[in-house]
């Protein structure tokens, strides 16, 4: 890969300080300007060769096409659904992410959601703070012996499986790409979704958001599930259809939901968040010191590697690159 010149980078969100430090150590000028409005970003972006974002900055075609100077968009994290990759590709702008830096943190939050759904800890905590001592209301159920359906057996799905197996859960799953013999080696039996839905006590989704995964859990699929199934979405808002989830919670077809992500963030409509059987977080899957340090450092090192013209691992499209992380936990 021929080296490219990156003299200046704009960081438009709260990214670990290691990102700035690594870029500056390599002679790249860095400006941090979080919380810019779209119009401000469109004006500001003209002055930089590179942009580093997390998930909140919507890097639209308008922003990409507002400048001829931009050469690289670095996503300090996994999902690139907030970047118009097609528009970037047409314009010859490189898009890269740090796909492994927050895997463990997202997997751990998923497991925490599953555990809290089984024992109602957030609801019991709220009740205690209100001065109550309500032991009957918060009767839970063991995870031991229950069936967990994992839809999407990539990095996070795999880590969730091994952790929940240690609680004695039976793990089944579905992934159109991960070969069944590979997931079987981590103790996950793969099957079609039609076979999976009716077997699960808990379902967790770990796919990217794309047309084939929008509404994976819908009115139709909830109807195929066990009554009282509990669901977790720490992947992307919309993989579980939000209106269908609310209907399933109200009818009791769904017994509880753990949600870290929403179609609209923050969600204006609070019907799901306010439902008594929903526990939720404001997109905190990657919000740990460790994950942020890895993602911040990885994206900076990858930009520096591009400048030096080395270490191109896999090109997903002409300009959308996925690199081997430098700071993956051992
Ligand atoms: N909440 C957070 O803060 C947080 C943090 C990290 C990642 N994420 C999100 O979690 C998701 C998973 O991340 P990952 O690192 O495991 O990604 P990954 O690419 O390693 O795995 C995704 C898997 O989904 C599979 N898949 C694609 N289409 C599918 C379908 N229709 N049905 C079932 N499986 C399908 C792929 O084959 C792949 O194996 C992404 O959406 C990512 O953006 C969220
Ligand atoms: O895809 C990701 O990496 C996660 O959703 C985390 O996003 P964040 O970097 O905005 O926390």
Span 227-251, pLDDT tens digits = 999 999 999 999 999 999 999 999 9
Ligand 2 atom nearest the C-alpha of 13 is: 10
Range 281-288 contact pairs with CB under 8 angstroms and sequence separation of 24 or more: 281/109, 283/55, 284/109, 284/260, 285/102, 285/105, 285/106, 285/109, 285/110, 285/234, 285/260, 285/261, 286/54, 286/77, 286/78, 286/101, 286/102, 286/105, 286/106, 287/105, 288/102, 288/105, 288/108
Q: Which ligand is nearest to the CA of 154?
A: 1
Judgement on whether residues 58 and 159 belong to the same structural domain of the protein: no
Pairing status of strand 170-174 against strand 320-322: unpaired
The C-alpha atoms of residue 140 and residue 199 are separated, in whole angstroms, by 20
Taking the centre of ligand 2 as the mean of its atom positions, its distance from the CA of residue 224, in whole angstroms, is: 31
296 C-alpha vs ligand 1 centroid, how far in Å? 20
Q: Is the CB of 192 under 6 A from ligand 1?
A: no
Exactly one of 24, 25, 39, 265 is catalytic; name it: 265
User: What CATH number corresponds to the domain at position 22?
Assistant: 3.40.50.720
The predicted-structure confidence for 166-220, as pLDDT tens digits, reads as follows 999 999 999 999 999 999 999 999 999 999 999 999 999 999 999 999 999 999 9
Residue 297 belongs to some domain of the structure: yes
Q: Is the CB of 237 under 6 A from ligand 1?
A: no
The pTM of the full predicted model, rounded to 2 decimals, is 0.94
ipTM exceeding 0.95, yes/no: yes
Per the structure, the complete domain to which residue 43 belongs is given by 8-101+288-320
Q: Which residue among 20, 283, 294, 297 is the active-site one?
A: 283
Count of the separate structural domains present in the chain: 2
* E-assigned strand segments in the chain: 8-11, 29-32, 50-53, 72-75, 94-97, 147-151, 170-174, 189-190, 202-205, 229-233, 254-259, 278-280, 314-315, 320-322
Among the ranges given (168-177, 218-227, 289-298, 307-316), the one the predictor scored with the smallest mean pLDDT: 307-316
In a domain, 215, yes or no: yes
């Amino acid at each position: 890969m021929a080296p490219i010149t990156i003299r200046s980078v704009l960081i438009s969100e709260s990214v670990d300080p290691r990102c700035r430090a690594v870029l500056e150590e390599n002679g790249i000028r860095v400006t941090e300007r979080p919380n810019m409005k779209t119009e401000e970003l469109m004006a500001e972006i003209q002055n930089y060769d590179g942009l580093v974002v997390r998930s909140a900055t919507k890097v639209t075609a308008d922003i990409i096409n507002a400048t001829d100077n931009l050469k690289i968009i670095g996503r300090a994290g996994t999902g690139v659904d907030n970047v118009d990759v097609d528009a970037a590709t047409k314009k010859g702008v490189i898009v890269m992410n740090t796909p492994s830096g927050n895997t463990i943190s997202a997997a751990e939050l998923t497991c925490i959601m599953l555990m809290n759904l089984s024992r109602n800890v957030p609801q019991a905590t709220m009740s205690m703070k209100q001065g109550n001592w309500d032991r009957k209301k918060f009767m839970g159920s063991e995870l031991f012996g229950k069936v967990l359906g994992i839809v999407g057996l990539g990095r996070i799905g795999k880590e969730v499986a091994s952790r929940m197996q240690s609680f004695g859960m039976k793990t089944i799953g579905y992934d159109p790409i991960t070969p069944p013999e590979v997931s079987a080696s981590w103790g996950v039996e793969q099957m079609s979704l039609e076979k999976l839905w009716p077997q699960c006590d808990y379902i967790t989704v770990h796919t990217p958001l794309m047309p084939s995964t929008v509404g994976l859990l819908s009115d139709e699929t909830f109807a195929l599930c066990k009554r009282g199934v509990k669901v977790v979405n720490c992947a992307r808002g919309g993989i579980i259809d939000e209106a269908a989830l609310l209907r399933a919670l109200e009818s009791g077809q769904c017994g509880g939901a753990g949600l870290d992500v929403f179609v609209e963030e923050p969600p204006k409509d609070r019907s799901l968040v306010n439902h008594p059987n929903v526990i939720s977080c404001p997109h905190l899957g990657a919000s740990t010191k460790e994950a942020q340090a890895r993602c911040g450092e990885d994206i900076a090192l990858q930009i520096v590697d591009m400048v030096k013209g080395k270490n191109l691992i896999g090109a997903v499209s002409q300009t959308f690159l996925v690199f081997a992380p430098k700071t993956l936990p051992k």
